[in-house]
């Protein structure tokens, strides 16, 4: 089974856990960020886990990320204007969180539960800061660094729990660059922010930060990473 097939198998396992027919009658099923899927997979590959444990860790991390994403959907105009959708968005986010706790409790990994819970708290604090900065500082590097923390904290905390501390600088840069792959999103950045993003890209390209083993395989380059690894099919 190649890398893409392994990732698709893990994604499908997670999506089956998340299925709720009543909820999906009213709101769209979750769509995973492929860069976060790939980072999760790369970290777990380093641990050489039993397949069943790997699947539970993979699902746990994506479940808590999906819970965060689902709660962010509250701000969507189509959701705020529809009371039933609004309630279901909140409840489905809570449902994903409960599944995450259930899976990790089965694995009895209290440290990972603690690290991911700490990440969720920090992410929510950074989101609050971002909201406060929105009008005055949204063109600053400080604002972009807050975005970077929101994107990467869940995965850097997972890396800490797994003893993979050396990959944290890579994760921060990779997930920020992945967020701004889209040309239209880049156009919204100030010159100062764009320079910071380009510096992150350069460090990745030159391998100035330590990368997971998956990124050292033959023929891999950071420039084609979004095509080879991130675009694995939505949800």
**Residue 199: other Cβ atoms inside 10 A:** 12
Q: Sorting pLDDT into bands at 50, 70 and 90, what band is 213?
A: confident
What average pLDDT is seen over the chain?
Answer: 82
Q: How confident is the model at residue 182 (pLDDT cuts 50, 70, 90)?
A: confident
Q: What is the mean pLDDT of residues 199-217?
A: 90
Contact 53, 31 (CB under 8 A): no
pLDDT at 75 over 60: no
Q: What is the CA radius of gyration of the chain?
A: 18
Percent of the chain with pLDDT over 70: 79
> Which residue is associated with the tokens 């709720």?
20
Q: Residues 235, 31: contact at Cβ < 8 Å?
A: yes
Read off the pLDDT of each residue in 136-163 and give the average, rounded to a whole number: 91
DSSP secondary structure code for residue 228 in this structure: I
Find the range with the poorest average confidence among 62-76, 107-121, 134-148, 214-228. 214-228
Whether residue 235 has pLDDT greater than 50: no
Average pLDDT over residues 169-180: 96
pLDDT at residue 186 in the model: 92
Distance CA 163, CA 109 (A): 13
Q: Are 118 and 170 in contact (CB under 8 A)?
A: no
pTM confidence score: 0.85
List Cβ neighbours of 120 (8 Å cut-off, separation of 6 or more).
64, 68, 154
Mind listing the pLDDT tens digit for each residue in 2-30? 888 999 999 999 988 887 766 666 667 77
Helix (H, G, I), strand (E, B) or coil at 202: helix
Q: What is the pLDDT of residue 100?
A: 80
Query: What is the pLDDT at residue 4?
Result: 86
pLDDT at 221 over 60: no
User: Which segment of 111-115, 160-164, 230-234 scores lowest on mean pLDDT?
Assistant: 230-234
User: What average pLDDT does range 45-56 have in this prediction?
Assistant: 92
> CA–CA distance from 16 to each of 30, 106, 150, 221 (Å)?
11, 18, 26, 32
């Amino acid at each position: 089974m190649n890398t893409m097939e392994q990732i698709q198998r893990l994604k499908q396992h997670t999506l089956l856990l998340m299925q709720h027919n009543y909820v999906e009658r009213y709101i769209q099923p979750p769509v995973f960020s492929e860069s976060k899927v790939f980072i999760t997979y790369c970290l777990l590959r380093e641990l050489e886990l039993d397949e069943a444990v790997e699947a539970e860790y993979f699902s746990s991390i994506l479940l808590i990320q999906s819970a965060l994403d689902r709660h962010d959907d509250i701000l969507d105009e189509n959701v705020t204007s529809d009371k039933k959708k609004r309630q279901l968005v909140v409840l489905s986010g809570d449902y994903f969180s409960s599944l995450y706790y259930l899976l990790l409790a089965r694995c009895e990994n209290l440290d990972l539960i603690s690290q991911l819970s700490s990440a969720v708290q920090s992410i929510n604090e950074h989101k609050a800061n971002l909201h406060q900065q929105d009008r005055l500082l949204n063109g600053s590097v400080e604002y972009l660094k807050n975005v970077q923390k929101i994107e990467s904290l869940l995965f850097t905390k997972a890396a800490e729990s797994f003893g993979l501390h050396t990959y944290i600088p890579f994760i921060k840069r990779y997930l920020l660059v992945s967020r701004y792959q889209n040309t239209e999103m880049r156009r919204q950045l100030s010159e100062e922010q764009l320079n910071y993003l380009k510096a992150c890209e350069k460090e990745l390209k030159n391998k100035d930060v330590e990368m997971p083993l998956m990124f050292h395989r033959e023929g891999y380059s950071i420039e084609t990473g979004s095509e080879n690894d991130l675009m694995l099919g939505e949800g």
